[in-house]
Amino acid sequence: MTGHLITTPFGARTTAAEVLDGVDLTGERALVTGAASGIGRETARVLAAAGAEVTIGVRGPAAGGRAAEEISPANGPGTVRAAPLDLADQGSVRAFVDAWRGPLHILVLNAGVMASPLQRTKEGWETQFATNHLGHFALATGLHGALAAARGARVVAVSSVGHVNGDVLFDDINFERHPYDPWAAYSQSKTANVLFAVEASRRWASDLIAVNALNPGRITSTRLGRHIGDISHSPASFDPSSTDVSWKNIEQGAATSVLLAASPLTEGVTGRYFEDCAEAGPHQPGVRRGVAAHALDAHRAARLWRISRDMLAATA
């Protein structure tokens, strides 16, 4: 992150629909993960309303089918379809990638789990890292050819302000030796989302693929917090009295994702971290905003890419 920070006319209270007002995405193809509900669903809805052909990757076919039907535009060129995709299951990710045909203009890596009890995938991977990072890493790298074919594709990684709480635990990513802490695991996975954007933007620049990460804000009424229970079980800074993190409804929470996915204002922007529809400044101690230095570190980003590639290779 160098030079001046990128700003837009939009802010924390802007809705996703307002960001794409007047934007025509006819002829573009988009994929949004975790779009059966929450900000993923709103992201998919707004992209389709602007004319895009949208695929939503969902674990539950029934819920996905209902969501696709409900958010497909009544009129206009945009469409929405659902396809099975379980990011914690590498077989599911490979099947999705193998079935994809044609270019992909927009990829929104939105799905995620937060502060879940210790669970492991069949490979033995800690589930938050496996879902929030490795599943999306496998999906994005698997679809690299489709993204490159679009000649100007955009990849959006939905991270969180929670990334400021911790770096990737490189010597014990799966919490095999360290005591498991659900928030430490969540922070690790969200830092990984930003590091992915940093390294992918470097590796894929020649393919004209822009890759950015974002903090959507603290969103009310989504399933992401289903493992938290009472608010007292989450960090104190998540309390509604905090003025640091922007609390938003779903329509506002999807705005920064849509800005990076399709707005002309961010065309050509890559390797950045946004919040409240603008590029975030450096994180300051004691403040729940900004981007942590450990999440933008190029050496960490390259190291995580190699580790992720090797972990996936072991499952092939």
Q: Give catalytic residues, as residue numbers.
A: 186
Dist CA 166 CA 294 (whole Å): 8
Token pair of 132, please?
């929030």
Dist CA 88 CA 97 (whole Å): 14
CA dihedral 249, 221, 107, 216 (to 10 degrees): 50
| Residue type present at position 254 | A
Q: In what order do the strands lie in the sheet with 154-158?
A: 79-84, 53-58, 29-33, 106-109, 154-158, 210-215, 273-275, 278-279
Dist CA 302 CA 293 (whole Å): 15
Dist CA 65 CA 61 (whole Å): 6
